[in-house]
Structure 1
Amino acid sequence: MDYTIIQKYLQGKASNEEKEQLFNWLDESTSNKDEYIEIKKIWALTSREENVEGKTWSDIEPSELKPAKTKTLQHWLARAAVFLLLISCGAIGGRIISKIVETPVYSQMYSVISPAGQMTNIELPDGTLVMLNSGTKIQYSGDFTDGNRQVYLEGEAFFDVQKDVEHPFIVKSELLGVKVYGTSFNIQAYPEDRAFTATLIEGSIGILNTSGEEVTKLVPGEKAYFEESETNIDIRKVDTAMYTSWKEGLVTFRNERLEDIAKQIERWYNVEIVIQKEGLGDERYFGTILKNKPIDQILEVLKLTTSLEYEIVPRANEPSLIYWK
């Protein structure tokens, strides 16, 4: 570890890249966290505003910070103790030393984004496995490993949560949240859809309102659906494969509007669809689509049972434009 980065972080001068490097190092082991705490104690004990005799944090060379060198660490702790003694004897009149309280160092949020047209698999620090669908973002805080198992989701993801009775797993979105009791489930919560869907495969989950209160629970095979314009959560039994088959590259539509299907195709293929024909968006489609097929093959499948016609217009440095007419 470059101890200059620790010095800059404690002085509030570290860049975002240096902060991320520090947080990653802290996450590697408990000994790294303990080492950081000892260094922070030195900094807290020796930092000062007045120009008094003795060495302050800004005077310490980074090479002198490494706690691996036990003699060096003991030396600076001793210097810090002497410094405190001078203060208590009145070397700095009227100065009060507050009790040192270790504050959390994990203020940074980590983000993983699955771009349009891609799917992304991640493993969270607690061992929870998450698959992100196209155009999805997930965030979690740096203290996740300390039991704060909360994530924020924008988009669609399948979760296989590592069970931990003492530390519940929470998924938050703009409209609703989920409290997990060790389970696997799928959530769809794209902000632009203004809707939330949770489908439970195994285990048990509670549905949370925006205040964090549990309003209902799901059992395996149930789906909870909520629209921002509605007041009630619709819960019903479903074929869960319909809501998780996207992980295998298959998507099954059951009498869905072409306008809603267009939104999903835009995410899968990173394209922009413009529906020109009046009434086309309200037409319904019933069938299964293979996501790994080229976009033109997908559109040909939709043409079989709808009045859809299309034109693909490639654009440089922008998503291709597709007119539905």
Structure 2
Amino acid sequence: MENEHSELIIGYLQGRLHGRDLDNFYVWVNESADNKKLFFETKALYEACTPSREKSEIQDSWLRLLEKRTSRQHKKQSFWLRISTYAAVAIIATAITSSLFLWSSSQEKTMATRYIGGDGLNADVVELPDGSRVSLGSHTTFSYDAQYGKSRRVVYLEGEAYFEVAKQKDKPFVVKTKEQDIEALGTKFNVTAYPADSLLTTTLLEGSVRLTTSALAQQAVLKPNEQFIYNRKTQAFSLQPVDASQYVSWTTGYYYFPEQSLQAILYRLSHVYGVQFTVKSEELNHRTFTGTFYRGQSIKDIMEIIHLSIPIRYKIDDHHVTISEI
């Protein structure tokens, strides 16, 4: 059955589907999130194996890969891990580091940050002297000074980061953003605080955190699977229950959007891809969408995912995407 669906996908990618076959493809791909995921993972594998090759050679290679994939169905590893073997060369060729660290000569004397990994798909990771780990999102600035760990552990954030804080009860861990201090003793939490955004969001996975916000009189204490959202423009806030694991999946390259508005999704993607979106319909902005995106997909792939669920037209012009109703 999976092989049958793969052949259907390849037919679509090669432009061979027409009439009822094309209708059947659209019906199948919209049946479930798993079907959409299989479509874009298969697309990634197909495109990784097709550049600068003759059509017959491409078809032969594709059939061989299908046979290998079918023979491995008894294994429990995910389809994405399997295709990564074949797509690695294509991914490595285009991968870029998602965060850029700029250190002046004077900063190098006071900063003790150790940079680890970063391939543009998974999050870049900073390991702090106390063993705490910080996963950094796209276009994120993160720093701490030489006093870190002496009496307190204070770090500074502009952008998005996921924190896994080492327990040191006598040395509180504090994340400072422009308007907020987020204090933790030993916990896992995610903070989104891009300077240009109106929303500042903190999501707690484990432990507890205490938030002190400059414009609010009262502090807020979060429990696991709670999210605190502060609006910088209106100075309003909300505290809501969430599945916190969905808000840190970005550290492994996956972005989950459970029943979120198109406006909220594009807001998130603008940081991930460094793209500006213009939506020419307020009604479209409020349409809801459930889906999973992978960081390795192009912005065109992302627009195709949305297009399969919401009837839209889109135009990509360099780093600007215009979206309108059909």
Query: Structure 2-normalised TM-score?
Result: 0.59
Q: Say whether the 8 Å CA contact 1:178–1:208 is kept in structure 2.
A: yes
What's the CA shift for 1:118?
A: 7.6
CA distance in 1, matches of 2:259, 2:162: 23
2:165 aligned partner, one-letter code? V
Aligned-partner SS, 1:310: strand
From 290, 293, 299, the counterpart of 1:295: 299
1:280 has 2:279 as partner: no
Q: Say whether the 8 Å CA contact 1:115–1:136 is kept in structure 2.
A: no
Higher relative contact order (CA 8 A, sep 6+): 2
1:197 has 2:201 as partner: yes
The answer to which of 178-187 and 206-215 deviates more is: 206-215
Q: Say whether the 8 Å CA contact 2:122–2:251 is kept in structure 1.
A: no
Which structure 2 residues correspond to residues 46-85 of structure 1 after superposition, within 5 A?
none
CA distance in 2, matches of 1:214, 1:127: 31
From 286, 307, 312, the counterpart of 1:308: 312
Q: Say whether the 8 Å CA contact 2:123–2:252 is kept in structure 1.
A: no
Identity, % of aligned positions: 29
From 172, 187, 191, the counterpart of 2:191: 187
Q: Say whether the 8 Å CA contact 1:115–1:134 is kept in structure 2.
A: no
Aligned-partner SS, 1:201: strand
CA distance in 1, matches of 2:194, 2:177: 9
Counterpart of 2:133 in structure 1 is: 129
Measured against aligned partners, the alpha-carbon deviations of 1:151-185 in whole angstroms (never above 9, x if no partner) come to 12112110001111121010111232211011111
What's the CA shift for 1:187?
A: 1.1
Q: Say whether the 8 Å CA contact 1:111–1:138 is kept in structure 2.
A: no
CA distance in 2, matches of 1:159, 1:179: 11
From 169, 175, 193, the counterpart of 2:173: 169
CA distance in 1, matches of 2:154, 2:115: 13
1:190 aligned partner, one-letter code? Y
Counterpart of 1:146 in structure 2 is: 150
Aligned-partner SS, 1:260: helix
CA distance in 1, matches of 2:222, 2:239: 8
Aligned-partner SS, 1:174: coil
Measured against aligned partners, the alpha-carbon deviations of 1:198-229 in whole angstroms (never above 9, x if no partner) come to 11111121111228987121222222222234
CA distance in 2, matches of 1:212, 1:165: 26
Task: Return 5+ residue gaps in structure 2 as ranges.
Answer: 1-102
Cα distance change of structure 1 residues 144 and 212 upon mapping to structure 2, 3 Å threshold: farther
Cα distance change of structure 1 residues 127 and 212 upon mapping to structure 2, 3 Å threshold: farther
Counterpart of 2:227 in structure 1 is: 223
CA distance in 2, matches of 1:134, 1:309: 27
Aligned residues: 221
Counterpart of 1:324 in structure 2 is: 323
The answer to which of 230-239 and 261-270 deviates more is: 230-239
Cα distance change of structure 1 residues 22 and 121 upon mapping to structure 2, 3 Å threshold: closer
How big is the alpha-carbon RMSD for the aligned residues of Structure 1 and Structure 2?
3.2
Counterpart of 1:19 in structure 2 is: 106
Aligned-partner SS, 1:144: coil
What's the CA shift for 1:119?
A: 3.3
Query: Structure 1-normalised TM-score?
Result: 0.59
Cα distance change of structure 1 residues 255 and 126 upon mapping to structure 2, 3 Å threshold: same
Task: Return 5+ residue gaps in structure 1 as ranges.
Answer: 1-15, 28-108, 315-319
Aligned-partner SS, 2:144: strand
